[in-house]
Structure 1
Amino acid sequence: MLLRTPLIQAALNGARSRAEHPAIPLTPEDLAADAAAVVAAGVGALHVHPRDAAGAETLEGEAVAAALVAIRAACPGIPVGVSTGAWIAPGGAERISAMRGWRVLPDYVSINLSEDDAPEVAALAQEMGIGIEAGLWSRGDVARFLHEPWAHRVLRVLVEITEQGTDAALGAFEGVVAELDEGGWSGPILSHGLDTGFWPLLPVALRAGHDLRIGLEDVLVLPDGSPAPGNAALAEAARRRCTVAG
């Protein structure tokens, strides 16, 4: 039985394209509309990948500002986070310069510990007063994270399982969580799977007392395997699962 209500974070778009799902939100207006819908469904935090005019992921200041301003107007008071993935334009080390140009700041950024310059991105986020989610995809990421001097200052760790299928996803999840336990981590954990590993992992993460992430970035179908109409339907499905578990 759950001892608390988990935080549900909605990952609205990620790197997905409209070819993968026609309801992927791309523009600031799309993101704001989806954000309002998922918050109405019980979501308490948001994670987005801002897009440029062509719909490509970007960390350029104007696009980041437009997305954040629109979302905050639709959902005042709801924390909004942005990915800093190395693949996002302008890419690699250049994204440090892009972040320095931000004039509208997210509440937090997600930083992948699998990326070589994660410490530099984390240092900049701290300098700018932006919260950090530490993205952990493997046991090796956990070991690296726990040795970082800023580890105790993150908002939470984000256990991101990309392995597909029930057995592979749960095995990877258990390995990452075991590494965190062995390392003495006692802070918040937010977990999610990806595609065919998503729904099998969710109840296991709930039983472990973790917060959850859901959205079209992570999964395109509902628990019964039918196509999800959009982010709001996924958020509602996750909320129902949390209610049943509680």
Structure 2
Amino acid sequence: MRPPVMVAPNGARRGKADHPALPVTLAETVETARACHASGAEALHLHIRDEAGAHSLDSGRYREALAELARQIPGMAVQITTEAVGIYDVAAQLRCLTEVQPGWASVAVRETARDLALAPRLYATCAAQGTRVQHILYDTDDIALLRDWQARGIVRPGQDGVLFVLGRYSAGQVSSPDDLTPFRTALPEAGDWMVCAFGPDEHACLAAAAAQGAALRVGFENSLTGADGQPHPDNAASVAALRQRLERTRA
């Protein structure tokens, strides 16, 4: 079975100084999404930027981006991020979700835990408006928190999508396939699960995750280079290289 691939082409922190092909404007993001879709990515993890190129959760910009992506690449699923990046509080994240009403959004449980009074409202809002939630999990402590919220009814039934993040808080943000083991051990029943991995072994980590049934997230948010340390020409090249690796593994 061909594993689903999502591309995360920019993230919140990187810019043109990190890689000239990293998309910052809406036009660049649309063109990157189009190329990545053609290279084998079925979905896009969407970050938007403000006029200065900084991370933004502006609802108007999100709605504009979602409309343009739907118009130009109707076959590509889009997930928005609610990432705080030290800028936005939980109230702002909830406001973004309420005003944008996206079909799909990623939510970091450790960020939502900053305001436990608002956590139930955030998940209830997503359930009421039909926003599919993907929980960003950086370590097994995040999994324990998610389990607690599920048991208490804060996280609603059906809100079971997860993203295991490999290498985010390791030295140099470098991951290895072995980093997946603690996540799988702590949450073995995960059905709707995806993996992303920081560092030059990104594709090796994703191939190992695919062998276990994961959906995959690849792109410049997580790694700019291949295993040889050479930068990918652009996000589409990274997607294509991952797809080729997966096909070789299946052959």
> TM-score, with normalisation over the residues of structure 2?
0.86
Distance 2:33 2:106 in 1: 18
Tell me which residue corresponds to 1:75: 73
Aligned AA for 1:113? V
Q: How do 1:125-140 residues align onto structure 2 when only pairs under 5 Å count? A: 125-140=126-141
Distance 2:44 2:174 in 1: 29
8 Å CA contact retained: 1:24, 1:216: yes
Structure 1 unmatched ranges of 5 or more: none
Q: Does 1:12 align with 2:13?
A: no
Tell me which residue corresponds to 2:234: 230
User: Alpha carbons of 1:119 and 1:139: their partners in 2 closer, same or farther (altered >3 Å)?
Assistant: farther
**Structure 2 SS opposite 1:43:** coil
Residue 70 of structure 1 and its aligned partner are, at CA, apart by 1.9
Q: Does 1:191 align with 2:195?
A: yes
> TM-score, with normalisation over the residues of structure 1?
0.87
Worse-superposed segment, 39-48 or 143-152: 143-152
User: Alpha carbons of 1:100 and 1:93: their partners in 2 closer, same or farther (altered >3 Å)?
Assistant: same
8 Å CA contact retained: 1:29, 1:70: no
8 Å CA contact retained: 2:175, 2:199: no
Aligned AA for 2:31? A
8 Å CA contact retained: 2:84, 2:93: yes
User: Alpha carbons of 1:144 and 1:43: their partners in 2 closer, same or farther (altered >3 Å)?
Assistant: same
User: Alpha carbons of 1:195 and 1:186: their partners in 2 closer, same or farther (altered >3 Å)?
Assistant: closer
Distance 1:6 1:46 in 2: 15
Residue 201 of structure 1 and its aligned partner are, at CA, apart by 1.4
Structure 2 unmatched ranges of 5 or more: none
Tell me which residue corresponds to 1:111: 107
User: Alpha carbons of 1:151 and 1:144: their partners in 2 closer, same or farther (altered >3 Å)?
Assistant: farther
Residue 54 of structure 1 and its aligned partner are, at CA, apart by 1.6
Distance 1:26 1:120 in 2: 31
Tell me which residue corresponds to 2:58: 60
8 Å CA contact retained: 2:163, 2:194: yes
8 Å CA contact retained: 2:45, 2:80: yes
Tell me which residue corresponds to 1:157: 162
Tell me which residue corresponds to 1:214: 218
Distance 1:113 1:169 in 2: 23
